[in-house]
Every structure is written in C-alpha cells, then in structure tokens.
Amino acid sequence: MVDMQTDSPGSERDRRIVAARVIVTSPGRNFVSLLIETRSGISGLGDATLNGRELAVAAYLEHHVIPNLIGRDAGRIEDTWQFLYRGAYWRRGPVTMTAIAAVDVALWDILGKMAGLPLYRLLGGRSREGVLVYGHASGRDPEETSAEVGRFAAQGYRAVRAQCGVPGLAKPYGVTRMKNAYEPAESELPLETLWSTPAYLDMVPRLFERLRADHGREIELLHDAHHRLTPIEAARLARDLEPFRLFWLEDATPAENPDGFELIRRHSVTPLAVGEVFNSVWDCRALLERQLIDYIRTTIVHAGGISHVRRIADLAALHRARTGFHGATDLSPITLGAALHFDTWVPNFGIQEYMQHTQETDAVFPHDYTLREGYLHCGESPGHGVSLDERLAARYPYNPRQLPIARLTDGTMWDW
C-alpha cells in the first residue's frame, strides 16, 4: 500500500490546492502565468504563454482546468498530468499542452519549495557545470550581421545564431534593428511580409562564408530557416552550408511530414534541429526514431511541462539526439528558469537558446539564474527560482499582438 501521507514532502492536508489564478501581463510583451496556492501557504508558478494566442490558454485554464485543481494534492504531479491529458477526451494541441505545462511546472515548483531543493536536484542532480547558450545576431546584410556576431563573441558567447536581410525583402524573419530584442509579434493584426526563396537561398551561403572568414572555425554558428523551404530546397541549403560547419540548421522545412527530412538527410550532413512548434512526444516520434534530426527543440511551456518533455528527451537519447530548447523572448522567465534546471540535469543536453528579456520583464519576474561567459547557470533557491511581482505586473495590461504572416512575391500564402 502506498502511504498517502508520505508520498511527497509535507502532509496531504498541507499540500492541498486551495486556489489558482491566471495572471496576464505585458511588460514589453505579453505573458500568461499560472499561480497555484496550497493550504500550507506555499505556492508555485507556471508559464502559460502561447505567442499571439495568449487569451485562448488563459480561458482554457480558467474555465476548464482550475476548477479541477481545487482540493487536489499538489504533490501528485504525475497523476494530475495524466488527469489533464489522458483523462480528457480532447487532448494535445498547443492550447491544451501549454495549459497542462503551466500546471505541471507550478506543481514541480511547489514540490521543490516543500522539499527545500532546487528543481535540478529533484530531477536527478547536476550533469554539467553550466548551460551552453546561443544568442541572436542579425543585420541588414552579411557585414552588419558579422559585426553583431563579433559583439556576441566579445561578450563571451560561444555560440551565435545568425540571421540576415535578404535583398528585395523588407521584413525577413529574424532581423531586428533593436539589439537583443527581436520581437516578431508587433501588430494587433498580422503584419504581411514578403518571401522569396531564390533570393534567400542565394544569400545564406554568402552570409556564412563571411562569418567563417571574419570569426574563424571555433565559434558555433546556428541558423533558423523558419519553415520557409520545401524539402529539396532545404536539402540544397543544408548541402551548400556544409563547408561552414553549422552547429545546426533549424526548421529547414515544415515538420508535419517527417518524410521531408529524409530527403534533406539523403543530401547533407549539416546537423538539423526541429520542434519548437511541437507539443507532444507524438510529434517528435518519427523524426527521432528514424534519426532524421540531431536536436529536439520542443520545450517545457508548449509540450506539457517538465513531466512530458522529460519523456521526449529520453526518446531523443535513445536515438543519439540532444536537446536544444526554444528560448525566444515569448517564453517567459518562468520557462527559462525551469528549462535551465532541466538543462543542468538532462544527460543528452545540446544547447539552450537565449534571448535576453527586457528590463521591464525581468523586473516583473525576479529570478536567480545568471549568465557568465556564454553559459547560463540556474540558481540554488528551492523550486525553479523565478517569482512574479503581481503589483508590478498589474501595471502592464494585456496588449493584443499577433505574429506576422508571409506571402510569396506573387501573393501566394506561405509559411511564416
């Protein structure tokens, strides 16, 4: 018999969930958070931000999840996960899995606080001294992008993602005029951008030739094609980039059909990363089992939280793939904090994306992680180490914003 009183720190009575609420705030950009409170007074925080679809998750939590949490034992993390996923007839999808992630991360945070242990120790302890991160460099042309890569290298970064303007395209993906702050969800209705694959395929190899010439072979370079290419175009790009030894080429083609990656693999040995839009192990399965990718990008907030992403990482490990969590600014400091604990523990860690949040965001979400010489370090405080200043958050009301869309130059809708 399982002793109901001792299967988790604290008594069952102390662990009982007495309240939960959704907090929407926009300190520079929108974030949705879930706060779960227990009878003991210990509370936990989870991120529920789905860029451009924030209120869908907030409503799902408020109407369909929170009423089911009240009275439950916060120490029963797995059972609550199964209740919300397996127990529900309508399962998976980004809204549902983001809501489940928020609950799951908040419960792990509570468990850490009740046990007095940082999250990475609950997961199994430290596997490395620091978490290798990559920053985001971009510019209007290869010269400007190269100068930005140099700026990151001078700050101690060992890995940099490089994106560049494309001649003839006004707003290509990933290029910003603001340092460290690429923020694509910039208008209430989707901004219409133009896309030209021939111009892009001509530019990218020239960019990386320039970067290797300027910065040598040691720095790790990454690139995100952001789902714009067909499989054969992606194969051509991956092959053209081989001389420049990328750490990875990301989202080379939309991953709904894993067979596309078979084609890329057939033509190139450039490492491939995929999965930031995935939300369950089922999305990752074929790509991992067929060894079609090298890094899995699926992260905690959009794939059911720590309890589920742990299973994705284990599946990846069986097939020698490593983690490379999504970490753009729309993933809140709560997700970054939780991800850093996961990255510190997970045996098959690869790299962590890192875009600094704005000062306003950092003030709303005080945290104990730190950046040193291109590595992020999670803190030692119990749980995931990120809190939320509710009074400050209330000063930043929700600001409706959607991600852009892309059309080919003849007007055809394309993948953004």
| Residue 343 contact partner, candidates Mg ion, ligand KDG, none, CB within 5 to 8 A by sort of partner | none
Among residues 94, 113, 152, the alpha carbon closest in space to that of 9 is found at 113
What minimum distance in Å lies between the beta carbon of 65 and Mg ion?
A: 28
Helices 197-215 and 231-240 pack at an angle, to 10 degrees, of 20
- Residue of the chain from 51, 280, 299, 323 that contacts ligand KDG (CB under 6 A): 51
| Interacting partner of 330 out of Mg ion, ligand KDG, none (Cβ under 5 to 8 A depending on kind) | ligand KDG
CB 70 within 8 A of CB 109: no
Binding residues for ligand KDG, rule CB under 6 A, total 10
Helix (H/G/I), strand (E/B), else coil: 195: strand
CB of 325 to Mg ion, least distance (A): 11
- Scan residues 325-344 and list those touching ligand KDG (CB under 6 A): 326, 328, 330
Q: How far apart are CA 234 and CA 348, in angstroms?
A: 26
| 330 lies in the binding site for Mg ion (CB under 5 A) | no
Contact status, residue 49 vs residue 331, Cβ threshold 8 Å: yes
Which member of 16, 247, 353, 396 binds ligand KDG (CB under 6 A)?
353
Q: Which stretch in 192-200, 211-219, 324-332, 394-402 sits in contact with ligand KDG by CB under 6 A?
A: 324-332
User: Among all chains, which residue has been given the structure tokens 């869309």?
Assistant: 405
The C-alpha atoms of residue 323 and residue 14 are separated, in whole angstroms, by: 36
Q: Which of 142, 184, 304, 382 binds ligand KDG (CB under 6 A)?
A: 184
Residue 316, SS3? helix
**Known active-site residue 226:** yes
DSSP assignments along 220-246, one per residue: EEEEE-TT-S-HHHHHHHHHHTGGG--
Task: Quote the CA–CA distance of 349 and 52 in Å, as a whole number.
Answer: 29
- Decide if 136 is catalytic: no
Region of 15-23, 127-135, 150-158, 219-227 interacting with Mg ion (CB under 5 A): 219-227
Q: Which residues contact 394 (CB under 8 A, 6 or more apart)?
A: 25
Of positions 104, 224, 233, 240, contacts Mg ion by CB under 5 A: 224
Dig out the tokens for 353 from the structure: 């994306």
* Interaction mask 88-107, ligand KDG, x per CB under 6 A: --------------------
Summarize as ranges the residues that interact with ligand KDG (CB under 6 A). 51, 184, 224, 226, 276, 326, 328, 330, 353, 403
Which residues lie near Mg ion (CB under 5 A)?
A: 224
Active site residue ranges = 173, 226
